[in-house]
Amino acid sequence: MKTLTQPAEEPVIVNDEPSWNRMIDKVSEAEGPIAIDVERAQSFRYSDKAYLVQIKKDGAGIFLIDPISFEHGKIADFSELNEAIGDSQWILHAATQDLPNLWQLNMRPASLFDTELAGRLLGYEKVNLAAMIEHYFDLHLEKQHSADDWSTRPIPQDWIAYAALDVELLIDLRKKMIVDLEDAGKEEWAKQEFAHLVYWADHHEPKCADERWRRTSGLQDVHTRRGMALVRELYEQRDKIARELDKSPHKVLIDKAITEIASRASEESVPTISKLRRVMGFRRREPRKHMSAWENALDTVAGLDKSDLPQLRVHKTGIPKPRNWQRINPEAAERWNRIRPKIIEKAQMLNLPVENLVSPAALREALWQPSEDMESQLTDLGVRPWQRQEILEIIQSGLSA
């Protein structure tokens, strides 16, 4: 199998006003859909913003846009590019990963085609871009730079080719997948799914940041409330440092170090700074630079009144996981055990992942407390018309059994 190493035409780097203006002219004049991809540096930087945006449009070429060159003290504004694209359909792979970044840049799709989601609807076992390219073009697409630090400037030459190849074949891939969707009778399903993604892009809200510290790895090893307070304080100190340095928090201090020292706190006291220094995670070069911040965290937590300590465990709100339903809501458990296997069977018949037939969250909510008007309930839960058509009768039959 041939390995794809270079795009058919040289990509254009867009990092100043002249190159930006030339790109806008080219994109405005060209017709047809536009392939778009985004590179981030979330494993290296505090921000999850876009550090490179790649676009390709037939008749215009490939452009690699450096958003950092256009920031001027704030996130770059690509609304002019969005206007140049106009009503042209966006082609993305795994759209939910890139849409939030493009939204930050003031880019909004009029319509889109997601090649990963199309692959799921077609029942492909592997839906990453390399697998799609191999399946449709019998070409090997190397992905060795996907986890690299895309904030690096200047961008290494071999990375430029890699970035361009991420959009090189997306337009042709879309054409081939449309044919397969039509042959499978799933074209309308795809249209509804893509329209839902456009709506999601415009209404998506980031998850609430409250008590993010409770997601620290190893928290289960902390058994005192004062230890929990120490996790919280160290987490917040680390976050402050990471934000100021624009580094990934885990590059400043690993989770394991936080929970290891916190696990040694009693209900009355915290470990000393000398004990903290002996924890392996604090002995690395980057954490040693910020030892005063860790010492301040120890002092702060040591001085907290018991009434100010966080709870050891927090009871989760919302619908519990189905494995706990038998104990909490036996009737709901019975509904789940009766209907869920039928949904799985239906997905298999349709050659679909079950989560694409209906989202797990929507099914849980519908079966936890079903409404008399199940179709309206599913609609309110964001279940698309094609999905309702496939599962409504299964759910209604299961509820009446």
Q: What's 15's domain CATH number?
A: 3.30.420.10
Q: Does residue 207 carry a pLDDT above 80? A: no
Burial degree of 123 (CB within 10 A; 0-12, 13-18, 19+): middle
| Shared domain check, 84 and 151 | yes
Which band of pLDDT confidence, cut at 50, 70 and 90, is reported for residue 42? Answer: confident
Does 310 reside within a domain?
no
Tell me the mean pLDDT in the region 298-305. 98
Q: What is the pLDDT of residue 7?
A: 94
Q: What is the pLDDT of residue 315?
A: 76
CB 130 within 8 A of CB 140: yes
Q: Does residue 209 carry a pLDDT above 70? A: no
- pLDDT tens digits for 220-272? 999 999 999 999 999 999 999 999 999 999 999 999 999 999 999 999 999 99
Choosing from 175, 203, 231, the residue where a domain stops is 203
Please state whether the peptide bond connecting residue 154 to the residue before it is cis, i.e. omega within 30 degrees of 0.
yes
Choosing from 203, 231, 262, the residue where a domain stops is 203
CB 90 within 8 A of CB 34: yes
**The pair of three-digit structure tokens given for residue 144, joined into one six-digit string:** 């060795």
The Cα 223–Cα 202 span in angstroms is 42
| Shared domain check, 65 and 157 | yes
Task: Indicate the number of domains in the chain.
Answer: 3
Tell me the mean pLDDT in the region 378-385. 97
| Shared domain check, 171 and 294 | no
Choosing from 203, 220, 237, the residue where a domain stops is 203
Q: Where are the alpha helices (DSSP H) in 279-329?
A: 285-289, 291-302, 325-328
| Shared domain check, 348 and 270 | no
CB 76 within 8 A of CB 66: no
Is 42 or 192 the better-scoring residue by pLDDT?
192
The Cα 252–Cα 247 span in angstroms is 7
**The pair of three-digit structure tokens given for residue 97, joined into one six-digit string:** 């990963």
- pLDDT tens digits for 333-372? 999 999 999 999 999 999 999 999 999 999 999 999 999 9
Does 227 reside within a domain?
yes
Is 234 or 201 the better-scoring residue by pLDDT?
234
Residue 394 domain boundaries: 322-400
| Shared domain check, 340 and 294 | no
Q: What is the pLDDT of residue 10?
A: 95
| Shared domain check, 156 and 25 | yes
| Shared domain check, 65 and 148 | yes
Q: Does residue 305 carry a pLDDT above 90? A: yes
The pTM of the full predicted model, rounded to 2 decimals, is: 0.91
Q: Say which CATH number the domain at 336 has.
A: 1.10.150.80
| Shared domain check, 140 and 63 | yes
Whose CA is closest to 41, among 163, 161, 212? 163
DSSP bridge partners of 113: 91
| Shared domain check, 357 and 328 | yes
Which band of pLDDT confidence, cut at 50, 70 and 90, is reported for residue 401? Answer: confident
Helix (H, G, I), strand (E, B) or coil at 52: strand
| Shared domain check, 192 and 217 | no
Does 295 reside within a domain?
yes
**The pair of three-digit structure tokens given for residue 323, joined into one six-digit string:** 């494995």
Name the DSSP letter for residue 212. G
Does 311 reside within a domain?
no
Does 164 reside within a domain?
yes
Count of positions (residues) in the chain: 401
The Cα 386–Cα 186 span in angstroms is 9
Does 313 reside within a domain?
no
Does 285 reside within a domain?
yes
**What is the chain's mean pLDDT, rounded?**
95
Which band of pLDDT confidence, cut at 50, 70 and 90, is reported for residue 208? Answer: low
| Shared domain check, 94 and 63 | yes
| Shared domain check, 72 and 23 | yes
Taking the CA of residue 348 as centre, how many other CA atoms within 13 Å lie in the half-sphere pointing to its CB?
A: 6
DSSP bridge partners of 2: 139
Which band of pLDDT confidence, cut at 50, 70 and 90, is reported for residue 206? Answer: low
Does 181 reside within a domain?
yes
Name the DSSP letter for residue 92. E
- pLDDT tens digits for 117-168? 999 999 999 999 999 999 999 999 988 888 899 999 999 988 999 999 999 9
